[in-house]
Structure 1
Amino acid sequence: MKSALEPKAAPKAALAARRMALLAETHAAGSAAEESEDWVVSYMDMVTLLMIVFLTLVGMLWIDKKTRPTVVNVLQIETGTLPRHDFADAAMTPEAPAAKPAVPADQPLPANVTVSPMTRATVDRWVEALRRNGLEDQVQLQIQENRVSIAIRDRLLFASAQSEIGPDGQRMLHRLTALLRDLPGVISVEGHTDDRPIRSDRFPSNWELSAGRAGAVVRVLTDNGLPVRRLRAIGYADSRPLVQNTDPESRARNRRVTLVIED
C-alpha cells in the first residue's frame, strides 16, 4: 500500500515546491522594483527644493522692485534748452548752489513733465554750473537717480579718426575739471564712435579708436588735478549708439565721449 501511494504524493510535493519557487521569485521581483524606484523619490525631493528656492528669489526681487527708487525718466539739457522729457529725482548734486536759478522757477514746465522741488533745484544747479563754466552749449547733460552723464561731441575734442585732443578741447576739459573736482564718486570716461569702420596702423578698428579717445580725456583730466583713483577709461566703439546710424547727422551724434559720474 505504501508503494502505491508514493507516486501520488510525488506530484503534490513537486507542485508545492514549484509554488514556493514562484512565490519567492515574485517577492524578489517586487523588492527589486521598489528598490529601482527609490531614485524617483530623491529626484522629486530635489525638484521640490529647487522650486522653493526659485520662488523665494522671485519673491525677493518683487519686494526689492516695489521698495527701491526706480528711475524711469531722464532730463536732457543741450545748448541751454529744455526738451520735452520727463525726469525723476536726482541724487547727484553739484556743491556750489546757483546764485539764481538757470531756469526761472515760475516758468511753467511742459504738461508731460513733473518734478519734485529737490529735482528742480538739482537741475537748476547743474545748468547754472555749466553756464558758469562756459559749457552750456558744448555738452549734453543727463541726470538720473544716482548718476550724472556729460556727453561731449567728438568734433569738440578730436580731429577726424584721431585721438589727440586739440587746444580748444584742452581748454574745455580744463573748465570741466573745475566742475568735477569737488564732486564725489567715480568718473567713467566712455568713448563712442559711429558704425563706419576704421582701418589704420594705429587704430585697426573702432574699438581701439574709442578706447584711445577715452584714455586721452582721462590723461587731460588727471593733468588738471583729478585723482587717478576716481577715473577709468572705457571704449565702446559703435556698440551703444544714441540713434540709428542712418545719415551724417545721426553718425555725428553717436560720435562722442561721455563722462559718467556715479555716487
Structure 2
Amino acid sequence: MYRPRSSVAVEADKSDTERWLVSYADYMTLLFALFLLLYSMATMEKEQFKKLQDTISKVFIEATDKQETGIQGQSVQPDIHPQSDFELYGSGLEDATGPTLLADNAKLEHIDRTRRGSPLSALQKDINRALRSLVESDLAKVTLDEDWLTIELSSGLLFSSGSANSTSSASAVMTELTAILKQTNNYMRVRGYTDSVPIRTEQFPSNWELSVARAASIVRLLEELGIAPERMAIEGYGQYAPFAENTTAQGRSQNRKVVIALSKYAYEPVVAQIPQPAEAQSAQEQAAEEAAEQEQNKIRVIRLPHGGIRITTRPPEPGEEEPASQ
C-alpha cells in the first residue's frame, strides 16, 4: 500500500542536496577576494605595493616567531652550540684578514669621475654627423652602451680583399675621425674582424693574422694623423666573433669590419719621476765635514795611566791622556 512521504522527510532531503552550495559560495568568495587583491596589486603604485609587502611579511614573521617560541618568548628548540674554529682545527688555524674597505664612498665616486674622458653621448653625435653618408649607406655604424662608443667600419671601405694595406678611402675616413678624436682623451681599442673564408698566404697564415694586421694598420694611420699611440690598443678576433651568419654573402660582408671602440675612461699619461738633485752644500759645511772625517781618522798616541802608550784612531778614554803634539 502506497504511503505518501511526510513533509519533514522531503525538507530534509532537499537540504541535503543543496548543502554543496555553502562550500561553493565560500570558494567563490575566496576567489573573488583573491582576484580583487591581484587587481589592486597590479594597479597600485610601487610605494603602496611596498607597504603592502612589508605588512604581509611582518604578519608571517610574527606567526613564525610564535610557532618557534614557547611561553615568555623562550625557545622550545634545543640550544645547540656549534664548535668553534679552535675546537675543530686547533691552534694552527690562522685568522684570515680580509681587504680593508674605504668608509667614504664619495671618495671612490670622485676618483671615478676624475678618470672619465669626454662624454660618449656628445662624441656619438659628432661622429654620426661626420660619417652621415657612410652610416646611411650601411658602410659605418655608431653605437653606444654604458662603457663604450663603438664605430663599426666595413673592411671593404678600408682594405682590398685579403690585404691589410689601408686604401685612400680609409685615409679619408680616419682624417674625419681624427679631427674629432684629437679633442678627446678617451682610451681607444681598435678591433679587427674577418669572415669564415679561410686564408693561407705567407703573410697571413690564417684569419687571426689578417684581423690583427688590419687593426694595426688603422692604429698606425691614426698615429700618423696625430692620435697619441699610448691611448690605443689592438685586438684581433679573426672569424670567431661574427656579427652575422657566415652562410650568406651578406652575412660574410657584415663580419668583415674594423671597430674603433672609445672607452668612457680617459687615458692617464704616466709621469716619469725624475730624481731631484740634492741641494748643494755650502763651503763651510763641506769644510766641517772634511775636518770631522780627518779628526776621526787621525792616528793618536795615547799615554796610559800606568805607563805605556796606545797607538789608535779612537779618541782618549777617561783617565787617558793624549800627549801634546811637538
- For residues 241 and 172 of structure 1, the distance between their equivalents in structure 2, rounded to whole angstroms, comes to 23
Letter in 2 for 1:139: A
1:41 equivalent in alignment to 2:88: yes
Question: Could you give the per-residue CA deviations for residues 44-66 of structure 1, whole angstroms, max 9, x where no partner exists?
Answer: xx9xx99xx9xxxxxxxxxxxxx
SS across alignment from 1:162: coil
After TM superposition, the structure 1 stretch with the greater mean CA deviation from structure 2, 241-250 or 155-164, is 241-250
Aligned to 2:122: 94
Q: Name the TM-score, length of structure 1 as normaliser.
A: 0.53
Shift of residue 168 of structure 1? 1.4
Structure 1 gap ranges (5+)? 1-38, 54-89, 96-122
- For residues 206 and 127 of structure 2, the distance between their equivalents in structure 1, rounded to whole angstroms, comes to 36
Aligned to 2:199: 198
Aligned to 1:19: none
- For residues 259 and 223 of structure 2, the distance between their equivalents in structure 1, rounded to whole angstroms, comes to 16
- For residues 177 and 91 of structure 1, the distance between their equivalents in structure 2, rounded to whole angstroms, comes to 17
Within-5 A mapping of 1:85-124: 92-94=120-122, 124=125
Q: Which has the greater radius of gyration?
A: 2
Within-5 A mapping of 1:61-76: none
CA contact (8 A) 1:94 1:183 kept: no
Task: Describe the shift of the 1:124–1:181 C-alpha distance in structure 2 as closer, same or farther (beyond 3 A).
Answer: closer
- For residues 222 and 189 of structure 1, the distance between their equivalents in structure 2, rounded to whole angstroms, comes to 12
SS across alignment from 1:218: helix
Aligned to 1:147: 148
CA contact (8 A) 1:135 1:172 kept: no
Structure 1 stretches of at least 4 aligned residues deviating more than 2 Å after TM superposition: 39-43, 123-131, 134-138
Q: Name the TM-score, length of structure 2 as normaliser.
A: 0.44
Structure 2 gap ranges (5+)? 1-85, 99-117, 266-326
Aligned to 1:179: 180
CA contact (8 A) 1:189 1:214 kept: yes
SS across alignment from 1:128: helix
1:159 equivalent in alignment to 2:206: no
Letter in 2 for 1:196: V
Shift of residue 91 of structure 1? 5.2
Letter in 1 for 2:160: A
Q: Supply the RMSD in Å over aligned alpha carbons.
A: 3.3
Work out which structure has the larger RCO, using CA pairs closer than 8 Å and 6 or more positions apart in sequence.
Answer: 1
Shift of residue 252 of structure 1? 0.5
SS across alignment from 1:201: coil
Shift of residue 177 of structure 1? 1.2
Task: Describe the shift of the 1:166–1:179 C-alpha distance in structure 2 as closer, same or farther (beyond 3 A).
Answer: same
SS across alignment from 1:159: coil
SS across alignment from 2:120: coil
The alignment of Structure 1 onto Structure 2 pairs a total of residues equal to 163
Task: Describe the shift of the 1:124–1:150 C-alpha distance in structure 2 as closer, same or farther (beyond 3 A).
Answer: closer
- For residues 159 and 129 of structure 2, the distance between their equivalents in structure 1, rounded to whole angstroms, comes to 26
1:221 equivalent in alignment to 2:268: no
- For residues 154 and 188 of structure 2, the distance between their equivalents in structure 1, rounded to whole angstroms, comes to 18
